[in-house]
Structure 1
């Protein structure tokens, strides 16, 4: 005796169509026919995605700042600086769309620092990277200060 499976929900069939249908129902204030379970899942996932992007971009930024400051390979400086500028731009855009992420920056910075430091130490075992971030860790500083230009930087 075979069991018949329930038909797949619109969400399971086509998430784009589901999202468009959900948006249309919300606009029409048709709350009665909303797929609340999946809507809640997606809203939560959106927040997680934003936090993950913040962490990812901070990690890449810190990795490249560390390389630019501590790895003496002048032929790579331009590439690292391009990546630094790109990550800064993307972080500015992200914080513009989700300003509340700024309050999460200190916690995300700590996690990003641990990951970035581990990655650059694996990539450049001969380089003596600092155990703690030696520069200002404010969002404004991370987005604007070219710390490798500071003549007073201790390396």
Structure 2
């Protein structure tokens, strides 16, 4: 909202108060009120969806990076990599449970994230990008299940 009546929070100046007031108006079904900030509410809802996608991509990134390290640096395997893989898989599973519509998108997310995984993992001692395949060597199921590369 660019202007606000007295007592009505402005989106740009007090976001928290704005969220509380907008939620209250929605719960009261005050859909025709001039102070119901429909445009910013819609933008915030879309933003929440983007955050969900960003979050699951981040967990996929970490799982794939540690799976690559696990596969290509077997002599450096350790508890921290194992815990990171377990944690990432748990987080992905919980997000899919809460937002099942993300499950069919996992393959596309992996394709998007893998070039960064490959580049970042190549920063490890003794590894280069040429070490890793151009395409992700792990399937969706391998990434999210109890798969461990040899």
Report TM bin, short chain.
0.7 to 0.9
Alignment of 1:17-56 (within 5 A): 17-33=17-33, 34-56=36-58
Answer 1 or 2: which has greater helix percent: 1
TM-score by length of 1: 0.81
Aligned length: 142
**Secondary structure at the counterpart of residue 11 of structure 2:** helix
Correspondent of 2:137 among 128, 134, 137: 134
Quote the offset at 1:6 in angstroms: 6.1
Quote the offset at 1:109 in angstroms: 0.7
List alignment gaps of at least 5 residues for structure 2. Answer: none
**Secondary structure at the counterpart of residue 74 of structure 2:** coil
In the alignment, what sits opposite 1:87?
88
Quote the offset at 1:111 in angstroms: 1.1
CA–CA distance in 2 between the matches of 1:120 and 1:78? 18
In the alignment, what sits opposite 2:66?
64
In the alignment, what sits opposite 2:13?
13
In the alignment, what sits opposite 1:113?
114
List alignment gaps of at least 5 residues for structure 1. Answer: 151-155
Q: Is the CA contact 1:68–1:80 (under 8 Å) kept in the aligned structure 2?
A: yes
**Secondary structure at the counterpart of residue 31 of structure 1:** coil
Q: Deviations over 1:103-128 (max 9, x none)?
A: 21111010111110111012345362
Quote the offset at 1:143 in angstroms: 1.6
Quote the offset at 1:72 in angstroms: 3.3
CA–CA distance in 1 between the matches of 2:117 and 2:78? 18
Q: Deviations over 1:55-75 (max 9, x none)?
A: 11111110011111111333x
Q: Is the CA contact 1:57–1:87 (under 8 Å) kept in the aligned structure 2?
A: yes
**Secondary structure at the counterpart of residue 32 of structure 1:** coil
